[in-house]
Amino acid sequence: MISWWPRIWHCGIKLWWNRLWVRADEFHPSLDLDMVALEAMTPTERAAYLSDLFRRREIAHRRALL
């Protein structure tokens, strides 16, 4: 596999697609931790990714409770 592919796909396109809207289901696959993306990110990007992921999970959890 080409080394830049995970960065473009997992850290770019796929992450952008998952952030388009927060799913109502807290168990949606878009809210899973993407290990390939984490490996391709810098430490600063990794911290921002985890913060955003936990925020989206919390929103989905609240929606599931309603």
| pTM for the structure as a whole | 0.80
Domain count of the fold of the chain? 1
Dist. CA 47–CA 61, nearest whole Å:
21
Whether 2 has a pLDDT exceeding 80, the answer reads no
* Whole-Å CA distances, 19 to 2, 36, 63: 25, 17, 16
Contacts (Cβ under 8 Å, ≥6 apart) of 61: 26
Answer for the pair 41, 53: CB distance below 8 angstroms, yes or no.
Answer: no
Of residues 2 and 9, which shows the higher confidence score? 9
pLDDT in tens, 26-63: 888 989 998 988 888 889 999 999 999 999 999 999 98
Terminal Cα-to-Cα distance of the chain (whole angstroms): 43
Answer for the pair 12, 49: CB distance below 8 angstroms, yes or no.
Answer: no
Whether 1 has a pLDDT exceeding 70, the answer reads no
| Residue 26: domain span | 5-65
